[in-house]
Structure 1
């Protein structure tokens, strides 16, 4: 969950989405992002609607997460550890809603939303690195994208940071190029 959140957070930036723009333009968009990533139900201590200040802190955080995702293995570990310890969090093993053991980052009371997300992303990145290896931290294969991601798929063959956007866009472009090369009927 943390690695997926880290990937998706890093790719909300207009640096990545240069054709579609900022994916988190306001607190309501941040609230939708959090809901889409299942951060409710006690995953985060932060309750209520995100504020404009939360949004600004999350914007700053995504740059740090993006830098970690793009780093070499040693720097990735250093950056992820900084995300975790900077929030005052420590990773713990706890049961999730389905009774499975999961790593979680428990932060002290009063840590802002961005701090909680930093801890969650940091633990997720370290867990993915340990379980899957650094080769699963990749850049998007689309020539028009600056995205980065952690491939947590079972097969490990993911190529795009946002398959439904980057992958579809490239598939449509390839299809149109093939059709253009066909002789008219």
Structure 2
């Protein structure tokens, strides 16, 4: 696998999404990497093609166990308070199977800096190199402030905000953001109902 230095968003995005497959985050759905097929789907959805899975080989149980273990390491990096710890830990991920940096031509025949993975590197270690490079790139380009906890009070998710504006608040905006908006809307409706006068009829009746 060749990982381009300038495309840190890919590695940071995979790191974010991997961390949030955990049952610690997915309190309703539970573990998302339930089996080898789920891991294969995760890789396909992120367009990650490890060399270890070349020629149609599918992830095995060892790959699944190793990626789940790596997930915990990535979360610890995202939670780190000190930038130095992020750099040290992310660099250690890159060293697991990374070679380089070296110059390679990209799809448009331009020279780019890449980190390549060494032969016979495992699926988990290839992911470690990809995510480690992405986290280092995000820290260097965007700052440590972009490593964040989800703003939802009922979510334990983490994320790296690689957006241009840097205003992302939720680990899964389509889930956590909507959930919080629905909760706020319901709270406003309830408060409005409480303040509304009783319309069931309050007039006195003349009993004669």
**Do both proteins adopt the same fold according to a TM-score greater than 0.5, normalized to the shorter chain?**
yes
Instruction: Name the counterpart of 1:108.
Output: 118
Distance 2:116 2:85 in 1: 23
1:73 maps to 2:83? yes
| Count of aligned positions | 182
Instruction: Name the counterpart of 1:130.
Output: 140
Instruction: Name the counterpart of 2:45.
Output: 36
Distance 1:100 1:152 in 2: 24
Distance 2:110 2:189 in 1: 49
SS of 2:52's equivalent?
A: coil
Distance 1:95 1:158 in 2: 33
Instruction: Name the counterpart of 1:83.
Output: 93
Do the aligned residues in 2 keep the contact of 1:84 with 1:90 (CA within 8 Å)? no
Distance 2:16 2:186 in 1: 29
Distance 2:158 2:144 in 1: 13
- Residue 125 of structure 1 and its aligned partner are, at CA, apart by 0.2
Distance 1:35 1:98 in 2: 24
Instruction: Name the counterpart of 1:156.
Output: 166
Gaps of 5+ in 2: 1-9, 200-208
- Residue 169 of structure 1 and its aligned partner are, at CA, apart by 1.2
Of 23, 31, 38, the residue aligned with 2:32 is 23
Q: CA RMSD in A?
A: 1.9
- Residue 106 of structure 1 and its aligned partner are, at CA, apart by 1.2
Do the aligned residues in 2 keep the contact of 1:91 with 1:123 (CA within 8 Å)? no
Instruction: Name the counterpart of 1:45.
Output: 51
SS of 2:89's equivalent?
A: helix
SS of 2:31's equivalent?
A: coil
Change (3 A) 1:102 1:125: farther
1:56 maps to 2:65? yes
- Residue 95 of structure 1 and its aligned partner are, at CA, apart by 4.7
SS of 2:190's equivalent?
A: helix
1:4 maps to 2:3? no
Gaps of 5+ in 1: none
